[in-house]
Structure 1
Amino acid sequence: MRRAIIQNLRTFRRPTPRKALKSLRITNSQHASLQRSIGSQPSPQPMRWSRRISVPAALGVAAAGSYYAYQRSGAQSVGPDGVLNGVQSRGAATATAYASVEHSPIGVHNTEVPEAVRKALIVEQGQLFTASIPADQPISKETDNSGRKVLEMLTPEQANAKLRTNEESYLVGRGEGVVRYDVVQIPSNDPIEDDHVEKIVEVPDTTAAAGEGKTRSDWMFWGVFDGHAGWTTSAKLRQTLVSYVARELNATYKSALQDPALTFPAAEAVDAAIKKGFVKLDHEITHDSVQKVLKSQSKVVAAEILAPALSGSCALLSFYDSRSKELRVACTGDSRAVLGRRAGSGKWTATALSVDQTGGTPSEDARLRAEHPGEQYVTMNGRILGGLEPSRAFGDAVYKWSKETQDKLKSSYFGRTPSKYLKTPPYVTAEPVITTTKVDPASGDFVVMATDGLWEMLTNEEVVGLVGQWLEKQATTTKATTTGNSSWLQSWFSTQKTNPLPIEHHDEGSTAGQRAPIRQQQWGVPTGQDERFVVEDKNAATHLVRNALGGKDSDMLSALLTLPAPYSRRYRDDLTVQVIFFGDGEHNGKVELNKEASATANGTNGGNGVKAKL
């Protein structure tokens, strides 16, 4: 998540072209050629990339070569321990040769480069470079004061493996309106600051009147948590948020059963229960923790208890009641949920189920100014007190504690100096905004939930269109059966072209209250060019991430997945994506791992299986 707390990770300054790069000295006996570079055009605005270079051209540049070395006067070869980021030298380079820099047209490879090459990515203060040498030659690195890093590129096979390492898919055979959900995570921070949760709670008729012929119903929860300034708050939400919300819902539903005239609780009561669960948990994280620390008078206890309060996290939680067929989406922060629904034309429509909540959102800015009258800097540059981007979040206690509390904790334990604009906290709340949608499982609705790492690369309509494209591809490649979880695909589709995207009103996703994809703006990627997309994955969430990171441009995908933290944060955020498919599937009462779309089946996680959740 982009946060002003670490401003340098959000602001990407490109140096101007360096005339000194007229030649390179290569510590290798074979001729090498620097094929392409990006960032060589001066930019008048530090936050923007030159639109003269498209995304595939800009980042695809990074995957063409295998070797780079910069020669200073009197340069010396560096041994294996001199190669950063885990790239091991494969031999000592003794001879030297020169190679001129060739700024060849984007996409045009040097014909002199041998066919068998290894790939490398070179990061130099905001610029990416690439070069090529024969595959059997060593990688070495020259050190200088320019901050260059040399990384051996992931091969396409390695990139696929990394992309699929954390993918999970589950087949839901409970006959309650949900047939499948897919999940994937791709880290950028180390460790990843995102988290997620999926839970199905069987509700007996003593809690919710099940209706004729039924003895139970399901409450289904899916959540994505976009952490910032650390991972502890999002981990806390994974462990406890569903329990807090389910407890409040349980009390609300039981109360409604006391009235014989009611079948369901009032909509306002259900919304209030969800909000109460959110606010209670945040109070425990933010305020109860302070009392425990002051009582214990232990810095060890303070370090453990205050961690989720000092970091922060957005939360996007969906609650589906299988009996009412209502889907509620509770949004705290700027993660986003979008509904895909089949239109009469056979194409899909995209409907946002949440609004990005930041200091730059007009409705949130107006709310904050009404709550804090006369405070000029309550939002500044789209950020709370000029610092935090999301206007609603768990944790982030420095925007909720009083100045006195912060001074006390800092003097006795640790903390940060309060903002000079802090006057009437709290400025940030965990109370969510809730939307309610009636779902029609028979029509094959689906919902995509994702942290903002996805939405800064793709529009709402691109995301829904990509899932529609994926569904059509699965329907044409899956054998039709009369039973089983594959039948829900076959019953929906006839063979259609996958390009262009099967979406109605294909535009740039300029939905009120939602930001356009910032990466597309920065990199100058033209929207609406569906030929850049591809269908290669069995997991729908992985399919979305692949196309967000490059699609058909395998070089771009390899480049983005090769970059380690913290360099990767300049180009992409942590990514967590869930895709929930509604429909009528099997009635075997089970929730089973879908092996063909999970890491356990394709062996991309070293045979360790899907990671256990605490």
Structure 2
Amino acid sequence: MSKKSEETEASASSITRGTSFLDKIKNVTCLNSSSSDSGKGRSKSSSIRVAHGFHLVQGKSGHDMEDYHVAEYRKRKNHVLGLFAIFDGHLGDRVPTYLKENLFNNIIEEPSFWKDPKTAIRNAYCSTDKFILDNSMQLGPGGSTAVTAIVIDGKDLWVANIGDSRAVVCERGSANQLTVDHEPHTERRRIEKQGGFVTTLPGDVPRVNGQLAVARAFGDQSLKAHLSSEPDVRHVPVGSTIEFVILASDGLWKVMKNQEAVDLVKPIKDPQVAAKRLTTEALARKSKDDISCIVIRFG
């Protein structure tokens, strides 16, 4: 897994060359799974005060690391974009690897991005999912949840998600969940209307068709008739009352409430230390899933 993200263009023609497409991405960007990854950075613009830290830890569920992240800054059209994401994969790492390399490219290349970011994000999520499904022979049958955050010039925050990876903002010391956990039981009516079903076995969580524990995701071709890739999108103006944002996979949120997470890291000014503190606490609380966390600080 890389601490630096490089822009990688992927097209349908390159996908059809076979599985070497994903192997090349992993080799070039050092994306092979590891037990942990950590790092930090900040905007190089002196007028934009945004800093971030991340920490990812492989879980104890007996499979390779399937979480990936993005944390980088790009300049576009005289604007500075902070791009942050966590992708929580299942049934392999090819779909989250593809998302890491391409989702933000797809979003910011949408013609409507600068005038209507909300529509651009929704369109890009949809087109990205279609590409993954159309190329499932190379990308595999798996899927991924996603939570993405785009900070424009340190002033505007656009958050989107599908699945149960979550974004929580700290404003005046209080936690405010910006995303929606897309759980099967909350979308049962839609799933059943589309010909699927939701089961809840004793000691287990609700699952779509007895398999997947989220109602929305990228990929998952075998379940796609009953899954959605429509993201929830939220805009937050970044004012003086916004202190920081936490992005994390469900490996954190399964064992920690929103306010607990905010209270735990509020006194910690270094966002990398804060992210590591959250993952360490989740491990102490016996979380067995992969645990991935990004903390974005403003001001």
Do the two structures share a fold, i.e. TM-score over 0.5? Answer: yes
The residue number in structure 2 matching 1:398 is: 222
Does residue 427 (structure 1) correspond to residue 246 (structure 2)? The answer is no
The residue number in structure 2 matching 1:578 is: 294
**Aligned length, in residue pairs:** 259
Does residue 218 (structure 1) correspond to residue 80 (structure 2)? The answer is yes
Distance 2:123 2:94 in 1: 22
Does residue 173 (structure 1) correspond to residue 44 (structure 2)? The answer is yes
Q: Give the counterpart letter for 1:432 in structure 2.
A: P
Does residue 389 (structure 1) correspond to residue 221 (structure 2)? The answer is no
The aligned runs of 1:49-88 (5 Å cut-off) are: none
Structure with greater proportional strand content? 2
Does residue 351 (structure 1) correspond to residue 85 (structure 2)? The answer is no
- The one-character-per-residue Cα deviations of 1:389-434 (angstroms, maximum 9, x if unpaired) are 111111100012xxxxxxxxxxxxxxxxxxxxxxxxx111222111
Tell me if structure 1 keeps the 8 A contact 2:53–2:272: no
- The one-character-per-residue Cα deviations of 1:284-341 (angstroms, maximum 9, x if unpaired) are 1102x26xxxxxxxxxxx4xx142xx01100111112227x22111111110000011
Tell me if structure 2 keeps the 8 A contact 1:178–1:580: no
Distance 1:178 1:279 in 2: 32
Distance 1:238 1:196 in 2: 7
Once the two structures are aligned, what percentage of the paired residues are identical?
28
Runs of 4 or more off by more than 3 Å in structure 1?
A: 175-178
The residue number in structure 2 matching 1:338 is: 168
- Gaps of at least 5 residues in structure 1 are 1-161, 205-215, 255-264, 291-301, 343-347, 401-425, 475-536, 551-555, 561-570, 584-614
The aligned runs of 1:366-515 (5 Å cut-off) are: 366-369=189-192, 371-372=193-194, 375=195, 378-381=197-200, 382-400=206-224, 426-440=225-239, 442-443=240-241, 445-471=243-269
1:176 Cα offset (Å): 4.9
Distance 2:150 2:43 in 1: 16
Change (3 A) 1:538 1:450: closer
Tell me if structure 2 keeps the 8 A contact 1:337–1:354: yes
Does residue 200 (structure 1) correspond to residue 73 (structure 2)? The answer is yes
Change (3 A) 1:190 1:389: closer
The residue number in structure 1 matching 2:146 is: 315
The residue number in structure 2 matching 1:285 is: 132
The residue number in structure 2 matching 1:237 is: 99
1:538 Cα offset (Å): 6.2
The residue number in structure 1 matching 2:8 is: none
Distance 1:234 1:227 in 2: 6
- The one-character-per-residue Cα deviations of 1:363-396 (angstroms, maximum 9, x if unpaired) are x223334x43xx4x52222221222111111110
Give 3-state SS (helix, strand or coil) of 2:214's partner: coil
Distance 1:458 1:388 in 2: 22
Change (3 A) 1:431 1:253: closer
The residue number in structure 2 matching 1:273 is: 120
Distance 1:320 1:171 in 2: 12
Q: Give the counterpart letter for 2:197 in structure 1.
A: V
Tell me if structure 1 keeps the 8 A contact 2:113–2:120: no
Which of these two proteins has the greater Rg computed from alpha carbons? 1
Coordinate RMSD, CA, aligned: 2.3
- The one-character-per-residue Cα deviations of 1:157-191 (angstroms, maximum 9, x if unpaired) are xxxxx99x521011333145443100011012542
Q: Give the counterpart letter for 1:380 in structure 2.
A: T
Tell me if structure 1 keeps the 8 A contact 2:166–2:179: yes
Give 3-state SS (helix, strand or coil) of 1:174's partner: coil
Distance 1:436 1:253 in 2: 13
TM-score (norm 2): 0.80
Q: Give the counterpart letter for 2:236 in structure 1.
A: T
- The one-character-per-residue Cα deviations of 1:35-90 (angstroms, maximum 9, x if unpaired) are xxxxxxxxxxxxxxxxxxxxxxxxxxxxxxxxxxxxxxxxxxxxxxxxxxxxxxxx
Q: Give the counterpart letter for 2:112 in structure 1.
A: T
The aligned runs of 1:83-98 (5 Å cut-off) are: none
Tell me if structure 2 keeps the 8 A contact 1:341–1:350: yes
- Gaps of at least 5 residues in structure 2 are 1-33, 201-205
